[in-house]
Amino acid sequence: MTRNTVFNWVRQGKLKAYQTPGKTNLIRPSDLVSFMEASGMFVPKELFDLAREDTAVQAAQTHAEPPGADAQPKVLIVDDDAAVRNVTNRALQGIAPIYEAETGFEALHLLTLHKDIRVVLLDLHMPGQHGLKTLREIKSLYPSVQVVIVTAYAGEIMPEMSADGTIAKILLKPFRIEEIQRIVQDLLTKSSQPG
């Protein structure tokens, strides 16, 4: 199966997909499972598990915040390393509710779904899409979101990106817990101030 085949299924309406504001087509795992079952394709157990987990997360998020409610600002951790996400998540407990993404594509998907994300902690080296490309898309679509680059490769970042406000802060790995807590608290405070 090629990418063109999948694109044609989406275009023909056979496979359900949705488009992010950045014009990226995304397919929910549950929609993929439904399509594969209806087409008589083998569905791996891992995909069933992923679909079940995604459906549960969607249901929890739908019921967690009624439409129009003043939601507490959230933080999005974007890193392909589960250990880094876990450490960061634990460090920020009690500061803000957290979303997590493994890839830039998943981060953009979550930003599309959750308008209450105010701070993104973004790794550079991830599968699928480099962090700097993800950064450009985030700032193009959501200019008020504060992005902190969390990386061991600061040399890849152009100095003017910090100067012009594209990047709120650069945090080098390995980071200190107190440092990431202070940065996130400062940015959340700044994002909640009018004007």
pLDDT in tens, 158-181: 777 766 778 888 898 889 999 999
The pLDDT-based confidence of 58 (bands split at 50, 70, 90) is low
State which H helix or E strand residue 31 sits in: helix 29-38
Helices (H), strands (E): how many in the chain? 8, 7
Decide which of 117 and 127 is more confident.
Answer: 117
| Residue 40 identity (one-letter amino acid) | G
Please count the other Cβ atoms lying within 10 Å of the Cβ belonging to residue 38: 10
What CA–CA distance (Å, rounded) separates 142 from 46? Answer: 33
Burial level of 149, CB count in 10 A (0-12/13-18/19+)?
buried
| Residue 166 identity (one-letter amino acid) | T
Mean pLDDT of the chain: 83
| Whether residue 31 has pLDDT greater than 80 | yes
What CA–CA distance (Å, rounded) separates 158 from 166? Answer: 10
- The pTM assigned to this predicted structure is 0.68
| Whether residue 187 has pLDDT greater than 90 | yes
Q: DSSP 3-state helix, strand, coil percentages of the chain (rounded to 5)?
A: 50, 15, 35
Q: Report pLDDT for 68.
A: 43
Q: Could you give the 3-state DSSP secondary structure of residue 64? A: helix
Decide which of 42 and 193 is more confident.
Answer: 42
What CA–CA distance (Å, rounded) separates 152 from 145? Answer: 22
Q: Which of 62-66, 79-83, 127-131 has the lowest mean pLDDT?
A: 62-66
What CA–CA distance (Å, rounded) separates 46 from 67? Answer: 32
The pLDDT-based confidence of 59 (bands split at 50, 70, 90) is low
Q: Which two tokens stand for residue 72?
A: 């507490």
Q: Report pLDDT for 176.
A: 93
Burial level of 122, CB count in 10 A (0-12/13-18/19+)?
buried
Q: Could you give the 3-state DSSP secondary structure of residue 35? A: helix
Domains plus CATH for the chain? 3-62 (no CATH), 69-192 (3.40.50.2300)
Bridge-partner residues for 99, per DSSP? 76
Q: Report pLDDT for 121.
A: 97
